[in-house]
Amino acid sequence: MVAADILEVAPSSALCGGTVVVALDPPEVVVADVVLAGDRVASVGRAPAGVRRRDCIGTLIVPGNVCAHHHLYSALSRGMPYRLAPPVTFTEILQRVWWRLDRALDEQAVRASALRGGLDALRAGTTTIVDHHASPNAIDGSLDVIAETLAELGVRSVLCYEVSDRDGPERAAAGVAENLRFLAAADGLTRGMMGAHASFTLSDATLEQVVDGARSSGAGVHIHVAEDAADQADAHARSGHGAVERLDRAGVLTDRALLAHGVHLAPAEMHAVADTGATVVCNPRSNMNNSVGHSPFNHLGRGAGAGVALGTDGIGGDLFAESQVGWFRAREADIATPSDWPLARLADGARFAGRVHGEPLLGTISAGAPADLVVLDYPTPTPVTADNLVGHWVFGLSSGQVRDVVVAGDLVVEDRRSTRVDEARVAAEGSTEAERLWARMDAIAPHDFEPMRGRP
């Protein structure tokens, strides 16, 4: 509410007259002008004379959403043909779908996927994408391709390559090298992490390389944990321990780690995760779609003792939809789910991304925060206050209301169109590239990698 004297850049523009969600957790709502200076929010109050004004009366202005677990490489899979026997287990879904798609990706397809997925996310009001990438036949430089594409669109990102032994030791080593190379070079709107697929596709030796790389670069590890019971069974067979203990003994679990899913965890394993300070990412739509079960972190939220963020696991980039479905799934599991659930989950994602970017105010619209925000056309049928914001979020908001998107002070979506790319061109190129990708994928057999089967 106070002008930020610390800003060196003079205020240049203002979003005027909207209902502004200053913070999600705890919620704070005011009717005010949001004044921008450079890449920052200068103030939330009254716009000074002489700045460029954009009328936002009748809108709701919210902090940009963070997708804390995405797979942009899957963006061209929507509607792709499938001619094999239908998969009936999680492992078969990987063998017959995703581990065929990722091997069909070349550099051109990686770029087209990032462009399509990044644009979809931005248009849905997601301003930061935390991505987990795989393209086993185009590893070297793949993170640069994604970073350049997202920078062209104007999306903030945290990128990594998912290291795995499923395609052989050379590709595992190439994945580690790609992460290290990118971590050393990432700047601007992008940062790196050390990516790893999941315990069940990682040997002890490769896990050691992943952890060494993370330590030497000061990065956290972004990895799938206990998405399916197969991950736990494999960890027992490999190590005599569950996946959490195996990863913890290897040094993966730190306060910088990002653990996707956490579905098949016993209470003691959940406590062990919380004790490390790692952030968990729930992906409720993906878990339901794959029929792998419900993550207890989802309905417990911070009651589990850990930061719990939300991701799409590659099912688009719409965190309004993900937070709404996640809320309903949490309520189904436990009617006592805290009512701040959707807002707290999104705030946890922003806190994580903010730590990686060195931006502690990311996820707020407050003086000095990075100017990452979304203007929704939301002529509200009832008053919006801090106390009832969550009700509007769950029952009223939609990505279809996204009018403008600002990232680092730049208006990258204006009146529902990207200001950076020709959307018709992106659609046409995406369709052409998708058909090429699907044709290559058709020629690739199901993957023969199998998890080890131990004590479930």
In whole angstroms, the minimum distance from the beta carbon of 227 to Zn ion comes to 7
Whether the ω angle into residue 26 lies within 30 degrees of 0, i.e. cis, is yes
Tell me: does residue 231 bind Zn ion (CB under 5 A): no
CB of 150: closest distance to Zn ion in angstroms?
A: 18
Listed ranges 24-32, 242-250, 308-316, 388-396: which one lies at the site for Zn ion (CB under 5 A): 308-316
CB 452 within 8 A of CB 203: no
- Across the strands, what pairs with 37? 40
Residue nearest to Zn ion (CB): 313
CA 183/CA 311 separation, integer angstroms: 22
CA atoms within 13 A on the CB side of 426: 22
Q: How far apart are the first and last CA of the chain?
A: 54
Using the minimum distance from each CB to Zn ion, give the nearer residue, 196 or 413. Answer: 196
Write out the two tokens for 105. 């990706």
Q: Which stretch binds Zn ion (CB under 5 A): 59-67, 211-219, 309-317, 445-453?
A: 309-317
Q: Which stretch binds Zn ion (CB under 5 A): 53-61, 78-86, 310-318, 400-408?
A: 310-318
User: Crossing angle for the helix pair 204-217 and 169-185, nearest 10 degrees?
Assistant: 10
412-419 — which CB contacts under 8 Å span 24+ positions? 412/122, 412/153, 412/154, 412/155, 413/122, 413/123, 416/123, 418/119, 418/122, 418/123, 418/153, 419/154
Residue nearer to Zn ion on the CB measure, 17 or 117: 117
- Cβ distance to Zn ion smaller for residue 313 or 372: 313
Stretch of residues binding Zn ion (CB under 5 A), selected from 3-11, 24-32, 305-313, 431-439: 305-313
Is residue 228 close enough to count as binding Zn ion by CB under 5 A? no
Segment interacting with Zn ion (CB under 5 A) among 31-39, 311-319, 326-334, 338-346: 311-319
How big is the site for Zn ion, counted in residues (CB under 5 A)?
Answer: 1
With both helix axes pointing from N to C terminus, report the angle between 229-239 and 243-250 in degrees, rounded to the nearest 10.
60
The SS3 assignment for 23 reads: strand
Cβ-based neighbours of 406, under 8 Å, separated by 6 or more: 15, 36, 64, 127, 371, 372, 373, 374, 375, 412
* Minimum distance of Zn ion from residue 50's CB (angstroms): 48
Question: 110 or 343, CB closer to Zn ion?
Answer: 110
Closest CB to Zn ion among 313 and 433? 313
Min. distance of Cβ 175 from Zn ion in angstroms?
15
Does position 313 bind Zn ion by CB under 5 A?
yes
- Per CB under 5 A, residues contacting Zn ion are 313
